[in-house]
Chains A and B, each alone.
Chain A
Amino acid sequence: MTHLEKLEALSVHILREAYREFKSLVMLWSIGKDSTVLLWLTRKAFLGHVPFPLLHIDTGYKIPEMIEYRDKFAKAWHLNMLVGENSSALGSHQTFPDGKLNRIECCKALKSEALKHTLSGEWPRKRFDHNLGDYIIDQNVEAFTGVIVGVRADEEGSRSKERYFSPRDKQNDWDIGDQPPELWHQFKTDFAPGTHIRVHPLLDWTELDIWEYIAKENIPIIPLYFNRGDGKRYRSLGCYPCTKPVDSTATDIRGIVEELKTGKFVNIAERAGRDQDKEDGGGLETLRREGYM
């Protein structure tokens, strides 16, 4: 087996394990390349089907093309698509772009808080109704006990310490010092009432693996990742006030792979364009302990 085949097999195994063990399961889809690969791997695992809902946390500041892309594929692949948001923070303009919060606080409000309350079912979830062709408020308010997330170990220090199956307590807290052992394809799939599990099928993938796999499988990725004539492309997608495109000539997947292997990005961290990571020494770690993905 090649390296990519091995990565694919382990991810598929993890997804199947999650589906078998958790009755109330959801997958986070940020529309970015990693979680889109995760969605593709799900179709691999379940032979063309996606047997659980997908959740997108909409901060209201996402690049508009991301929303169009999301809805296009929700329709095409007949996805059970859910959307959640922090409507009170957005409604009262308590955000960084409104000048009320710093970047970290804004991420916490629009992403971590929105995610936490959408997962628990306390805040409304919008579900894509395939008959109406639009979003309606979902009647199901049951808490999700298994959450599949596309984080990778190479992204940042604290992520390299994650487990494939990582428990979170009632407060969504992550106890880094006391994580379950994982060995021989056996994971922590038993959990006490009130706790839930984050599942990380992409943990062993690198940014380059992701792109090589996208190329190999011909996965329809959002075109924001490509230079479309202005000499710029996004390397990592987020909210437009905090995510800057990078200078690049890569117009297609092949171009990106070349750029990552030999070109200008070979030694530059992927999240270098994300401003919130730089605010304090352990910025992302602080956010992750509090439930950020």
Chain B
Amino acid sequence: MKDSNLQHQMNVVVVGHVDHGKSTIIGRLLADTHSIPDGKLEQVKATCTRNAKPFEYAFLLDALKDEQAQGITIDTARSFFKTEKRRYIIIDAPGHIEFLKNMITGASRADAAFIVIDAKEGIQENSRRHGYIMSMLGINQVAVIVNKMDLVGYNEQKFNEIAREYSEFLGRLNLRPVSFIPISAINGVNIGARSTDIAWHKGPTVLEQFDAFELKDSRTSLPFRLPVQDIYKFTEAGDDRRIFAGTISSGTAKVGDEIVFLPSGKTSSIKSIESFNTTEKKKASTGEATGFTLTKQVYVKQGELMVKASDPMPLVGARFRANIFWMGKAPLIREKRYTIKLNATRSSLKLVNIINVIDASDLSSEKNKQQVDRHDVAECILETLRPVAFDLVKDIKFTGRFVIIDNYEIAGAGIILEKVADQDSTLHDYVRDREFSWESGTISPAERAAIYGHGAKFVVFTGDETTTKDIIATELEKQLIHSSFKTYYLRMSNVIRGLDSDIKYGPEEREEHIRRLGELARILTDSGQIFITSVTNVDDYDIKTLQLLNSPHEILVVNIGENKFNSLVPDLNLEAGAKAGAAVEAVFSLLRQKKVLLDFQI
């Protein structure tokens, strides 16, 4: 093969039902194009002789012992080969249903796909399921290989029947195959070379089809999207750059561009594009794993979506309609909390409703299913615990798809079809139901306040500085008690080791800690007390959650140090390192102003 400096590489996946000959096709293609390292063919042949087995081209790929023993591909194998046009990675995906998650792994990396169908067996369950998955993965260049034509005597009519039936199926998924190719992998017919056995076939050979696939990336012309993977500040190494790092999933950005972070809505502009061992960069484009510094420092968490102010904005919401594919051993159910990984963000996730479950092998649907089982495809409504930023898959597919984690595993994958209004989100529903059935004694809150001589309140101290917060909160409790106000200060550490001892302490569990704190506040404020606590690094959403859970009673937010809230305005802002005495006085005056404490009582 002629050598050239081939700058382009294409990933092509080969899928299809088990035993329809995917590995044989690839093995044959590699052998026919002399793409196998010298030792390998001999090595595999020698192993076959030693084990008294006839040599098969599939063994080249199914190099693992397990696979040779069972004669099926259990995982995706990658092979490299090149033509004069470009380089290829061929991904051999397993056809057996048990290994569907391996097939998805392989196929998700592909720019184009071959679907293999056995001419004698015809279209099988996984021929259809794999077609469906190609469409869901967003692979729109698909060619269909009809293999084992030798077993049907290279019969054109048989080939046409399969082509017609399968075209019709793919059409329902809005997939139009670029070609149908009749071949016999075992005899090397229509793989690298044509054969007189199939003179009637005027379309491409497999090898020709490889080069006929288009490798175009239209992502640069789309709006700019950068999922913020991390924020670096390597101060200990004497580097004071604050770098927003991530891989650009679409579009282009340059120095000076105005940018917006979502869901927080914070704005700034690009000061520099950072890189190592390159010349200075003024522009960064789709696919680059890059880093930006900003002109105005903003407090943003990793996981936000960085976009350009001049581009169409992504959506922000907590509820959406999605098509999902389930791979988990346990079914997807309503009663359980999951984790979603969407772009660079993670959030707690709930299944709200199943619209219908589709059998991917024949596209029939089932409306009344209560759970999504392994290998099911379902259209459903999902809800994240806090709002996330996303695009619809029809607009920008790269920022409109996600995976679902169940019990440490990636158990589902999905694409977002539509944002659903979330004013009546799960938490609102829940609080409404709770309040509706809340049973009180004969003492009304007003009566209780009159007897106690003060109102109830939930006072939350926030901010970075744990020690100052605790000192002020402790002092506040003391002074309120000494003034005969029914007060209780609860340290979060007591909750974590007590009430919350059954849950871990991590980002996803944080939401459950907040929920329990909110429920506890509801009880304590209902008892007529001033309930004080301090929580580190709460955001707008945490406060909204606490507020909602504590309702109908009210919350007071006292922030210490830099105010990191997006839009929420704390009831009181104290400087970092504020003295306890002055701080307590400020809170007292706030409580008076809010009519929790009445002037004459102090």
| B411-442 interface with A by 8 A CB criterion | 413
| A22-57 interface with B by 8 A CB criterion | 43-49, 51
Count of residues in B whose CB is under 8 Å from the partner chain: 67
Q: Is A169 an interface residue (CB 8 A)?
A: no
| A1-40 interface with B by 8 A CB criterion | 1-3, 5-6, 8-10, 12-13, 16-17, 19-20
| B43-64 interface with A by 8 A CB criterion | 47, 50, 63-64
CA distance A94 to B246 in the complex (A): 48
Q: Is A157 an interface residue (CB 8 A)?
A: yes
Residues of A with C-beta under 8 A to B108: 182-184
Residues of B with C-beta under 8 A to A43: 276-277
Q: Is A92 an interface residue (CB 8 A)?
A: no
Please choose the segment from A99-107, A143-151, A172-180, A222-230 that sits at the chain B interface, where 4 or more of its residues have CB less than 8 A away: A172-180
Most buried by A among B50, B64, B239: B64
Q: How far is the CB of A91 from chain B (nearest CB, A)?
A: 35
In the complex where A12-B289, A181-B102 touch, is A272 in contact with B39 (Cβ < 8 A)? yes
Q: Is A188 an interface residue (CB 8 A)?
A: yes
B75, A268: Cβ atoms closer than 8 Å: no
CA distance A161 to B103 in the complex (A): 12
Q: How far is the CB of B226 from chain A (nearest CB, A)?
A: 12
Q: How far is the CB of A172 from chain B (nearest CB, A)?
A: 18
Contact with A along B75-96 (1 / 0, CB 8 A): 1111110000001010000000
The residue on A at minimum CB distance from B100 is: A181
Residues of A with C-beta under 8 A to B289: 8-10, 12-13, 16, 45
Q: How far is the CB of A221 from chain B (nearest CB, A)?
A: 15
B9, A6: Cβ atoms closer than 8 Å: yes
Residues of B with C-beta under 8 A to A267: 34, 36-38
CA distance A78 to B402 in the complex (A): 38
B47, A281: Cβ atoms closer than 8 Å: yes
Residues of A with C-beta under 8 A to B237: 49, 78
Q: Is A171 an interface residue (CB 8 A)?
A: no
A47, B408: Cβ atoms closer than 8 Å: no
Per a CB cutoff under 8 Å, which of A13, A19, A285 touches B65? A285
CA distance A281 to B339 in the complex (A): 42
Per a CB cutoff under 8 Å, which of B109, B137, B234, B339 touches A49? B234
CA distance A180 to B403 in the complex (A): 12
Q: How far is the CB of B434 from chain A (nearest CB, A)?
A: 31
CA distance A3 to B102 in the complex (A): 25
Q: Is A142 an interface residue (CB 8 A)?
A: no
Q: How far is the CB of A13 from chain B (nearest CB, A)?
A: 5
The residue on A at minimum CB distance from B92 is: A160
Per a CB cutoff under 8 Å, which of A3, A153, A160 touches B7? A3
CA distance A1 to B341 in the complex (A): 27
Q: Is A163 an interface residue (CB 8 A)?
A: yes
Per a CB cutoff under 8 Å, which of A16, A157, A183 touches B104? A183
Q: How far is the CB of A70 from chain B (nearest CB, A)?
A: 21
In the complex where A48-B276, A179-B102, A185-B247 touch, is A3 in contact with B87 (Cβ < 8 A)? yes
Q: Is B401 an interface residue (CB 8 A)?
A: yes
Q: Is A192 an interface residue (CB 8 A)?
A: yes
Residues of B with C-beta under 8 A to A217: 277
Residues of A with C-beta under 8 A to B36: 267
The residue on B at minimum CB distance from A188 is: B410
Q: Is A204 an interface residue (CB 8 A)?
A: yes
Residues of A with C-beta under 8 A to B77: 157, 160-161
Residues of B with C-beta under 8 A to A181: 101-102, 104-105, 327, 403, 410, 413
B39, A269: Cβ atoms closer than 8 Å: yes
Q: Is A186 an interface residue (CB 8 A)?
A: yes
A161, B75: Cβ atoms closer than 8 Å: yes
B78, A153: Cβ atoms closer than 8 Å: yes
Residues of A with C-beta under 8 A to B101: 179-181
Q: How far is the CB of B452 from chain A (nearest CB, A)?
A: 47
Q: Is B193 an interface residue (CB 8 A)?
A: no
Q: Is B40 an interface residue (CB 8 A)?
A: yes
CA distance A48 to B274 in the complex (A): 10
CA distance A17 to B327 in the complex (A): 23
Residues of A with C-beta under 8 A to B47: 281
In the complex where A3-B9, A192-B408 touch, is A160 in contact with B105 (Cβ < 8 A)? no
Per a CB cutoff under 8 Å, which of B40, B105, B234 touches A46? B234
Per a CB cutoff under 8 Å, which of A3, A45, A182, A272 touches B105? A182
Residues of B with C-beta under 8 A to A157: 63-64, 77
The residue on B at minimum CB distance from A183 is: B108
Q: Is B275 an interface residue (CB 8 A)?
A: yes
Per a CB cutoff under 8 Å, which of A12, A156, A186 touches B410? A186
The residue on A at minimum CB distance from B87 is: A3
The residue on A at minimum CB distance from B217 is: A1
The residue on A at minimum CB distance from B10 is: A3
Q: How far is the CB of B332 from chain A (nearest CB, A)?
A: 15
Return 16 A-B CB contacts under 8 Å, by A number.
A1-B288, A16-B229, A19-B230, A47-B291, A48-B276, A153-B78, A157-B64, A177-B74, A179-B75, A181-B105, A182-B105, A183-B410, A184-B108, A184-B398, A185-B247, A268-B38
Q: Which B positions have Cβ atoms within 8 angstroms of A? A: 3, 6-9, 34, 36-40, 47, 50, 63-66, 74-80, 87, 89, 101-102, 104-105, 108-109, 137, 217, 229-230, 232, 234, 237, 239, 241, 243, 245-247, 274-277, 285, 287-289, 291, 302, 327, 339, 341, 398, 401-403, 405, 408-410, 413
Those 7 A-B pairs whose CB atoms lie nearest each other, nearest first: A157-B63, A183-B108, A12-B289, A181-B101, A267-B38, A161-B75, A269-B37
16 new A-B contacts, CB < 8 A, other than A47-B239, A272-B39, are A16-B229, A44-B275, A46-B234, A51-B234, A154-B80, A157-B64, A176-B74, A179-B75, A181-B327, A181-B403, A183-B105, A183-B413, A184-B398, A190-B405, A268-B37, A281-B65
Q: Which A positions have Cβ atoms within 8 angstroms of B? A: 1-3, 5-6, 8-10, 12-13, 16-17, 19-20, 43-49, 51, 78, 153-154, 156-158, 160-161, 163, 176-177, 179-186, 188, 190-192, 204, 206, 217, 261-262, 267-269, 272, 281-282, 285
